[in-house]
Structure 1
Amino acid sequence: MSQFAKSSQHPIDGFIIEFDRALRSIVGATPMRRSVPESSTMNESELSAEEKKHAAGLMRVNHVGEVCAQALYQSQKLHAKSDDLKNKLEHAAIEEEDHLAWCERRLEELDSHPSLLNPVWYAGSFVLGSIAGLAGDKISLGFVAETEKQVEHHLDDHLKELPSNDHRSRAIVAQMRADEIAHGQMAIQEGGVELPSAVQEVMKTMAKVMTVTAYRI
């Protein structure tokens, strides 16, 4: 009897864990497993009001990207056929949680806040991830690879746009970029297929809408 109760409780436990992760992704208070990345030059000069506002807008966009990443990995993990793939997606999601926490911390330091539309970003990304997951593991992995490639380019742009003396934000973005590249390479190595160019363009357009909106709201 106890064995049956134990086995029947696993899905509930899993649901609670994933729901808790979703809630923390949306409202904040994300656990941090790795400390905030630091630059070799952390004694930055004080940012001007305009620089501070611009840096906060960029870090808010980065935070939204990590909210979306949590939703994508959760939904894709839900539909993954292979246990090995589920474990790899879980590992990537945990690293993305660090990104969330780092961005949250930096936004606080910049006297700013996460996007007010985080519930919308999360819900939309969860639907997209579910569609990719239902299409099969190779398509799902291809979606991860393309997403991470676009995120890498987006972070490259942010490293160019962030104030040159905002070493704290730049150190965070640089580490995030390194992690995203690793996630993309994992997806390719696991057999992810290249998505049709039309799908890639739709993803870029959606990312642009999110970026422009999240910078302000």
Structure 2
Amino acid sequence: MTKKPSRRAGASGALLAMLITGCATPGEPGVAPAPAVPASTGPRIAPSMAIIRPLDTTLLTAHPCSALKAHQLRAVNGEPEQEYSYPDKYSCSWSEHRTTKFEVGKYPNPAEPEPHPITEIATRHYRHPEEFTHWQETSLDDLPVLVYESDFIFDGCVAEVGADDQTTIRVEYTKSPKDPPQPLWEGDRCGAALKIAEFVVRNLRG
């Protein structure tokens, strides 16, 4: 005669399954985040070309920390622990474990009032390519984008978006090799910077 499993055994199995899965739904603490999704970029747009569809950056002037939404922050860096607003720079930064950090800012701003066309960094690259360890020219929603790592950016990558002929949105993602592993963008700081830029452009387009 075959012995049937007891209800106690069944309950123990269910409890074990709950412990293994974390007893949570996606998006709750304890559940691994979804894999990182690269930014959807367009064809290269030369930085010297006129921007035919300028981006309204008023939101960054008034509320820079609203440039990214909660679910977008999770898609970039899990759960950032700290958020800082810098009104004089039209910028906001988010950090995790006081190490991995990313920042979104607008130039010009009260701290740096001079026009800041995207052609400035492009000209520097053309004249001194040896200063850059990574360089990419691409686009997001008809806006020119420059992505780069450089000796003057410590353990970080920058994505600069030409919002109009005088204004640049600058995204910097910093991740030191000594920092704890980052589950989403480990080893791809420029991919993270470009993804943040994509989110910001999408939000500002509305």
Q: Which TM-score band (shorter chain)?
A: under 0.3
TM-score under structure 2 length normalisation: 0.25
Q: Tell which has more relative contact order, 1 or 2 (C-alpha 8 A, sep 6+).
A: 1
Which is richer in strand?
Answer: 2
Max radius of gyration: which structure? Answer: 2
